[in-house]
A and B are shown apart, each in its own frame.
Chain A
Amino acid sequence: MIDKKILEELNLTLEEYETIVQLIDKEPNITELGIFSLMWSEHCSYKSSKVHLRKLPTKGKNVIQGPGENAGIIDIGEGLAVVFKIESHNHPSFLEPFQGAATGVGGILRDIFTMGARPIALLDSLRFGPLANSKNKAIMEGVISGISSYGNSMGIPTVGGDVYFNNCYSLNPLVNVFCLGIVEKDKIFYARAEGDGNPVLYVGAKTGRDGIHGATMASAEFGEDLEEKRPNVQVGDPFKEKLLLEACLEVMAKDLIVGIQDMGAAGLTCSTSEMAAKSGSGIEIDLDLVPQREEGMTPYEIMLSESQERMLIIAKKEKVKEVKEIFAKWDLDAVPIGYVTKGERLKVKAKGKTVVELPVKAIIDLCPVYERESKSPFYLKSAQKLSTLPGSEDYNQSLHKLLSSATIADKEWIYRQYDHMVQTNTILLPGADASVLRIKGKKKALAISLDGNSLYSYLEPKTGGKIAVAEACRNLSCVGAQPVGVTNCLNFGNPEKPEIMWQFKEVIEGIAQACQVFNIPITGGNVSFYNDTEGISIYPTPVIGVVGILEDISKMVGPGFKEEGNPVVLLGNNKDEIGGSEYLKSVFKIERGLPPQIDLEKEKRVQELCLEAINLGIVQSAHDISEGGLAVCVAEKCFLSGQKIGCRLELKDKIRTDVLLFSESQSRIIISIKTHHLQKLLSLAQKRKVKAEIIGETGGRNISFRHLDEKVINIAVTKAHLLWKKKIPEIFRIK
């Protein structure tokens, strides 16, 4: 009998249970209720976020597929399309960092190749607690090994991403994985169960008891019982997935199937009911036919298992033999377990008995939608206040501290664990503003950037949302790419708390506004709520992934200075704002104040100017100003210059020196340019109403800044570089 205790275990409310009974016109048995508990979980149903997500712009002339499928698809011309998405694997990565992160990679890869695309790039957005804490260190090490192990083995390069450190992630790391694939426009596959009587094939790994209720776990807060939840994390097998990838792409290329869906969160339950619901059809399967790894599994366990590396295929009736042969070639089973039916019902049999009979619409489309209460949080007013700024210290000293803060320090220790070169398309190696991948045989290339500063979103959520989009786009414009599509991963605390809901609404509002101004559609993404451990929520963390196109790969520009004697030009305005900065955080341990404010129209003009100048071939290097401000941006331009070229700069703004050097004011890009191109650049800037100021030139061995005739920073590039480069390896050095 279904009682309160069972409902609690399944994370369903009494009201939800009553709705279910009404919808299906009977008391559900335990397996049926299990199905609802998964598909109506926050993770699968988006029941708390749906009403707000509708505000995001999703349309555009190049959009082939918006939200609602395994991944979004954008037309990039010449008969090709890119398929991409970002997804979180936060909860599993905390419980079991290696497997949690690894299966996160496995899951997003399946989302991409399910649509017929060959994955060509992975990126990760990672958030960890401070590394002084050994637990955080172990989590980070495990997560990176997990990503490395899965992506490397599959032969998909991990080409970039971002990493931030903050106390708020101490018991709640974030692992957001992005994947992009390429497909011929007329060879895209969807999750469809069409054609009455077409066989349902189960392919890939056998089903075990792993990961049962993973999706439900990701839809609740962690309390003291978190150790017990470890068995909810699945175990990944990248080799199996590699076989699955090759076999699936082969049956697709030979046009043998009508639809395909991966079995990720909610496994067999989700794939069967979603495919049927999307096609207005039904599915009938027999669980006795499902390949099983363990004996004595109940229908409940088989339906809810989240074993990895599995797919569900609807084959063309007459092609089953050929499909099976291809899977056999790759040493995989392809087992018919049922067929497509006419009525919109999911029917599951086991040992000759019907164990599930449900209307698919009820499972997928009729989940209740909540407009949860929202309320501006109490902390906001006081956190935004930054009445008196502490006195500044020696500026050289401050720059040292920033360069060796984990968030700013070099991430080579991380990305060299990832095979970022396999497939030989990586034109701009990790560590630049954006990752750039060529498309073999084409003039155009793809650029990708992930971004999301959660401190800004904590201090002023709407601004945080806007900046996440603006900065990711700015990163693309720095390499010479035009943004064409966005995917987002929204990581928040418990949405049942009105304050969290308010943060969520505000961030979405900011993202929506920015996307509208930049005229780029959101093609999908993922919401991860309940990022709370023992009552403490993470900062609201929107992660934005933007994909762009470089029309001519030969025009691409990198971040590092190219040669000595080049004028250095600042595009955009320096402003007197320091709230929410890495400077305040690293030097004074202050996480307060208003984050930098952003004028989206102006931001757009700065980006367009940068892009236009790059396309004219007059830019030597471009790097945007972000965490650590102008001084850190310039230092990085020296580090990434190859020969460690220095620069001599002079600032004239009447702003307090430390604020000027380390402010994270938006809409600024620093470029270097040949002297004879200067006039051209300045006239372009004037035309676009963007301030372009010559702040000095490249040369020498030092990073040197003067402010209002006073020498304020003077450090040898090699010395600063060493600080920046050594920080993270030293933390993880084997002693």
Chain B
Amino acid sequence: MKFGVVIFPGSNCDYDTFNVLKEILKQNSVFLWHKDHNLKNTDCVILPGGFSYGDYLRSGAIAKFSPLMQEIQEYAFKGGLVLGICNGFQILLELGLLPGAMLRNKNLKFLCQFVHIELENDETPFTKKGKKGQVLKIPIAHYEGNYYAPPDIIQELEINNQIVFRYSDAQGRISKEANINGSLGNIAGIINKQGNVMGMMPHPERAFEVHLGSKDGRLIFESILKTVDSRQ
């Protein structure tokens, strides 16, 4: 199993993500430079959090034009696993690999805090070690995480079971109060129709150790390992 973590010039969760893959999960992991045209034979590409190009315009809007993105598009079309976390999710939306867009949080402030998310689809390559209805405690840290898509898209996501995570309370109840940033349908993470590209706003790499407040983020990376192992 080989993970690739993309570095854009303004990525800032690249090392955090690399650290959990390499030091905690002990996986072969490499960095992928945004100016290169080489995915280095990785089994899963991760677009980490950060502010890819400063994001003064719209989060991810410029990252979309990075040279490496052509390779990632092709890789995704061929079924390669791509996970976008936070800014990575925003970039996947800009690339069109996932539907929808991000608006500013409903309170118009950056939000950094632990949230609860309910796992809604446990059949994806990124969540198969979990159980539908399970609640995870994972931090968010974003300004633009208020998910929006037109009604027909939302309907399609619902019908195809593409909504992977929703913001919930600790008991897994999906409520208006639990909808921290105002996302439509409390959406915190979605997957593409083909089931190989997932984006999520919460940061699983920040929830890996008890003394950081939660270990729930492991589920996502361990699911990827399980998926790739079973493929090989």
- Determine whether B19 belongs to the interface, using a CB cutoff of 8 Å to chain A: yes
Provide the bound-state CA to CA distance between A242 and B13, in Å: 13
Chain A residues with Cβ under 8 A from B110's Cβ? 148-149, 152, 416-419
Tell me the chain A residues, 234-258 only, with Cβ under 8 Å from chain B: 237-240, 242-243, 246
A239 touches B51 (CB 8 A): yes
Tell me the chain B residues, 187-208 only, with Cβ under 8 Å from chain A: 203, 205-206, 208
A153 touches B51 (CB 8 A): yes
The verdict on A417 contacting B139 (CB below 8 Å), with A153-B10, A239-B53, A440-B19 known, is: no
Contact with B along A217-240 (1 / 0, CB 8 A): 000000000000000000001111
Provide the bound-state CA to CA distance between A415 and B205, in Å: 21
Contact with B along A421-441 (1 / 0, CB 8 A): 111101101000000001010
- Determine whether A420 belongs to the interface, using a CB cutoff of 8 Å to chain B: yes
- Most chain B CB atoms below 10 A, which of A155, A243, A420, A424: A424
The verdict on A416 contacting B9 (CB below 8 Å), with A239-B53, A422-B16, A734-B108 known, is: no
B112 touches A154 (CB 8 A): no
B111 touches A424 (CB 8 A): no
The verdict on A417 contacting B12 (CB below 8 Å), with A237-B54, A238-B54, A422-B141 known, is: no
Q: What are the nearest 5 A-B pairs in CB distance? A: A155-B12, A239-B54, A153-B51, A419-B141, A419-B112
Provide the bound-state CA to CA distance between A109 and B208, in Å: 28
- Determine whether B50 belongs to the interface, using a CB cutoff of 8 Å to chain A: yes
Q: How far is the CB of A678 from chain B (nearest CB, A)?
A: 27
B212 touches A239 (CB 8 A): no
Kindly identify which residue among B54, B108, B203 contacts A153, using a CB–CB cutoff of 8 Å: B54
- Determine whether B41 belongs to the interface, using a CB cutoff of 8 Å to chain A: no
The verdict on A239 contacting B211 (CB below 8 Å), with A416-B111, A424-B19 known, is: no
B12 touches A424 (CB 8 A): no
B112 touches A155 (CB 8 A): no
Kindly identify which residue among A155, A237, A419, A427 contacts B212, using a CB–CB cutoff of 8 Å: A427
Chain B residues with Cβ under 8 A from A423's Cβ? 15-16
Q: How far is the CB of A626 from chain B (nearest CB, A)?
A: 25
By beta carbon, the residue of chain A nearest B15 is: A423
29 A-B interface contacts by CB (under 8 A): A148-B109, A149-B110, A152-B141, A153-B10, A153-B54, A153-B55, A154-B12, A237-B54, A238-B51, A238-B54, A239-B51, A242-B9, A242-B54, A331-B9, A415-B112, A416-B112, A416-B113, A417-B109, A417-B110, A417-B111, A417-B112, A421-B112, A421-B139, A421-B203, A422-B141, A422-B206, A424-B16, A424-B19, A424-B205
B13 touches A422 (CB 8 A): yes
Contact with A along B41-57 (1 / 0, CB 8 A): 00000000111011110
Q: How far is the CB of B116 from chain A (nearest CB, A)?
A: 15
Q: How far is the CB of B28 from chain A (nearest CB, A)?
A: 20
Provide the bound-state CA to CA distance between A149 and B54, in Å: 10
- Most chain A CB atoms below 10 A, which of B35, B107, B109: B109
- Determine whether B67 belongs to the interface, using a CB cutoff of 8 Å to chain A: no
- Determine whether B96 belongs to the interface, using a CB cutoff of 8 Å to chain A: no
Please list the residues of chain B having a beta carbon within 8 angstroms of any beta carbon in chain A.
9-13, 15-16, 19-20, 23, 35, 49-51, 53-56, 107-113, 139, 141, 143, 203, 205-206, 208, 211-213
Kindly identify which residue among B9, B11, B16 contacts A330, using a CB–CB cutoff of 8 Å: B9
The verdict on A429 contacting B53 (CB below 8 Å), with A420-B112, A421-B141, A734-B107 known, is: no
Chain A residues with Cβ under 8 A from B109's Cβ? 145, 148, 416-417
Q: How far is the CB of A592 from chain B (nearest CB, A)?
A: 37
Chain A residues with Cβ under 8 A from B11's Cβ? 155
Q: How far is the CB of A431 from chain B (nearest CB, A)?
A: 11
Q: How far is the CB of A87 from chain B (nearest CB, A)?
A: 22
Contact with B along A483-507 (1 / 0, CB 8 A): 0000000000000000000000000
Provide the bound-state CA to CA distance between A237 and B56, in Å: 10
Chain B residues with Cβ under 8 A from A329's Cβ? 35
Q: How far is the CB of A451 from chain B (nearest CB, A)?
A: 23
Provide the bound-state CA to CA distance between A38 and B15, in Å: 40
Provide the bound-state CA to CA distance between A148 and B112, in Å: 10
Chain B residues with Cβ under 8 A from A243's Cβ? 9-10
By beta carbon, the residue of chain A nearest B33 is: A329
Q: How far is the CB of B90 from chain A (nearest CB, A)?
A: 14
Provide the bound-state CA to CA distance between A237 and B55, in Å: 11
Provide the bound-state CA to CA distance between A97 and B212, in Å: 33
Provide the bound-state CA to CA distance between A440 and B141, in Å: 21
Q: How far is the CB of A442 from chain B (nearest CB, A)?
A: 13
The verdict on A155 contacting B13 (CB below 8 Å), with A416-B112, A416-B113, A421-B112 known, is: yes
Extra inter-chain contacts (16) besides given A155-B51, A422-B206, CB under 8 Å: A152-B141, A152-B143, A153-B12, A155-B11, A239-B56, A242-B9, A242-B10, A330-B9, A417-B110, A417-B112, A421-B139, A421-B141, A421-B212, A426-B212, A553-B211, A734-B107
Q: How far is the CB of A342 from chain B (nearest CB, A)?
A: 39
Chain B residues with Cβ under 8 A from A238's Cβ? 51, 54
Provide the bound-state CA to CA distance between A149 and B51, in Å: 11
Provide the bound-state CA to CA distance between A111 and B55, in Å: 25
Chain B residues with Cβ under 8 A from A421's Cβ? 112, 139, 141, 203, 206, 212
- Most chain A CB atoms below 10 A, which of B51, B111, B112, B206: B112
A242 touches B112 (CB 8 A): no
Chain A residues with Cβ under 8 A from B50's Cβ? 155
Provide the bound-state CA to CA distance between A424 and B111, in Å: 16
Chain B residues with Cβ under 8 A from A426's Cβ? 212
